[in-house]
Structure 1
Amino acid sequence: MPSTHAIAAQIYEFVRTENLAEGSHLPAQMLADRLRVSRSPVNQALQLLHDRGVLQRVPNRGYFVSGALADSGVADAQGLQLDDSNALDDTYFRIAEDVLQDRLPIDVTETMLRAKYGLTGAQMTQVLNRIAQEGWVSRKPGYGWTFSSMLRTPDSLLQSYRLRLALEPAALLEPGFRMDAAVLARCRAAEEHLLEGGIETDSAAQIHERGVRFHESLVEASGNPFFIETIKRVNRVRRLLSYRSMKDRERYVEHCHQHLEILSLIEAGKLKAASDALRMHLSSTLRNLERIAGLLAS
């Protein structure tokens, strides 16, 4: 189980990534479901954020985003002393790189990883729990951990994108497709934030999360639970690879404009055109995978 500080940092990042406005309610159960933890540590994390002055607590109603947290100029999670996320992010990416380059065995122990990456036991557990939630490591019965072979080959990477290409445009054509105005506005604000400088200043994790939330929001609007569960599973696993493309951030300018075009078409009720635009967007990414697949070739 991640520490209270770590969960508080995740909640903090969720609010910032989703651009939640002042006064937005943060239901404990919703956060627990999203972070895959129980409500008790979420409530403790919410209280910690309240103690830091970035959440408001209303008796018998819960916690709400305060003006300080909604303000884009507020200190980051590190500045609020929520956790040592920068160091843990660095270790996460180092492990991912070592897995992709076959510099780590399939089976590992926490003791071996702690010695290799210089983390405490609690920090190593936090990193491994994050990786486990994303689907590319699992705890072995009894002792140790096993890295998944999924997405370690060029073929499996291409297959994951072909699945998205088949699924996501179809989601926009589902009979029950409906995207709330508030979700549209939040997605548009996220893209505009990137175009206004976030591409250069946001962390790799933040940029990845914004992209994930855009595509998952489209699929969630389909109302089809099978589509939604499938795309979320794919997104959890492909995190292992996505950060590598952050070295070339120029392509995100085009991605943002494509995302904004799709949102405009949806808002105008032109779902067939939006589906076609989404297919073109994903196809373009698929055509660029040859370079990434080369990085994964053993």
Structure 2
Amino acid sequence: MAQKETASPLQIELARRILERIRDTSVSVGARVSVPELAREFGVSRSPVSAALDILVGKGILEPMPTRGLRVARDVADMDLSSVLPTSPLEELHRRVMRDRALGKLSHEVSEAELIPRYNVPRGVIRKLLMRFAAEGLVQRLPGHGWRFIDTLLDDDAYVESYEFRIAVECAALTSSGYKVDSSAVSGAEARA
């Protein structure tokens, strides 16, 4: 497969998402990469997936198999993705929207119509971003029109409440009948201490 000179924003975004998938699911070196499976997972046709894979071949992340297809060529567990792939416009927009939401510059409920002029991007890009947020569990579509960000830990009270919840749940888990101490992990921790 030959790498194109200029990759489209979709191809760069797909290459990044494929690389994240390989990293996050701990795919081992030598594992085969399936174009049809990736196309189904990301909801796109095979052509942009193949182009995204070409980008990853060009970066040495994937390599052609001796017969046919591609496989993972190197371990990506600790790889800095920004050093491998340029940031796609959608990735940068994702960061901007999340930053604005975290800083309280963006309301809890938004519409595509208000996001288009705010971020100066076409409706299709905003829609793609909101669909990605929905897939990531960050927003929900409202009946009619509009989107609602899920409740997040935006203030000090929310952080305190989340820790109080974790204390209750995690301590209760220690008393459950299914809980067993992994003695090899405990003995390893004692040895390191």
Query: Under a length normalisation based on structure 2, what TM-score does the superposition of the two structures give?
Result: 0.59
Greater shift after overlay, 108-117 or 44-53?
44-53
Q: Summarize the alignment of residues 71-220 of structure 1 with structure 2, pairs less than 5 Å apart.
A: 76-78=84-86, 84-85=87-88, 87-167=89-169, 170=173, 175=178
Local SS of the residue matching 1:41: coil
Q: Single out whichever of 139-148 and 20-29 deviates more from structure 2.
A: 20-29
Deviation per CA, 1:147-185: give whole Å up to 9, x if none.
Answer: 2344334333333334444556748x985879xxxxxxx
Whole-angstrom CA distance in 2 between matches of 1:269 and 1:148: 36
| Structure 2 Cα separation of the partners of residues 162 and 43 of structure 1 | 47
1:223-265 deviations in Å (ceiling 9; x for gaps): xxxxxxxxxxxxxxxxxxxxxxxxxxxxxxxxxxxxxxxxxxx
Contact 2:36–2:46 (CA under 8 A) maintained in structure 1: no
Structure 2 runs not aligned, ≥5 long = 1-8
- Give, in whole Å, the separation in 1 of the partners of 2:164 and 2:29: 39
How has the CA–CA distance of structure 1 residues 76 and 166 changed in structure 2, closer, same or farther, with 3 Å as cutoff? farther
Letter in 2 for 1:77: L
In 2, Cα distance between equivalents of 1:129 and 1:3 = 14
- Provide, for residues 264-296 of structure 1, a one-character-per-residue CA deviation record: whole Å limited to 9, x for no partner: xx793328969xx9xxxxxxxxxxxxxxxxxxx
**Structure 1 residue 41 and structure 2 residue 44: aligned?**
yes
Q: 1:112 to 1:22 in 2, by over 3 A?
A: same
Structure whose residues are more often helix by fraction:
1
Shift of 1:27: 5.8
Q: Distance in 2 between matches of 1:26 and 1:42?
A: 15
1:167/1:76 CA distance change after superposition, 3 Å: farther
Check 1:124–1:63 CA distance in 2 against 1; reply closer, same or farther (3 A cut).
Answer: same
**Contact 2:138–2:150 (8 Å) recurs in 1:** yes
- Aligned partner of 2:31 in structure 1 is 24
Mapped partners of 1:176, 1:160: distance in 2: 23
Percent of residue pairs identical = 26
Q: Distance in 2 between matches of 1:113 and 1:67?
A: 39
Closer/same/farther in 2, CA of residues 97 and 89 from structure 1, 3 Å limit: same
- The residue type equivalent to 1:47 in the other structure is S
SS at match of 2:140: strand
Q: Distance in 2 between matches of 1:18 and 1:50?
A: 17
Contact kept, 8 Å, 1:25 with 1:62, in 2: the verdict is yes
Bigger radius of gyration, 1 or 2?
2
Aligned equivalents of 2:80 and 2:107: distance in 1?
43
Aligned partners of 2:183, 2:17: CA distance in 1, in Å? Answer: 30
8 Å contact 2:139–2:147 — kept in the other structure?
yes
- The number of aligned residues is 175
Task: Supply the RMSD in Å over aligned alpha carbons.
Answer: 4.7
2:184 matches 1:268: yes
Change (3 A) 1:47 1:31: closer
TM-score by length of 1: 0.42
Q: Structure 1 CA distance, aligned partners of 2:113 and 2:92?
A: 19
- Long gaps (5+) in structure 1: 79-83, 179-265, 278-298
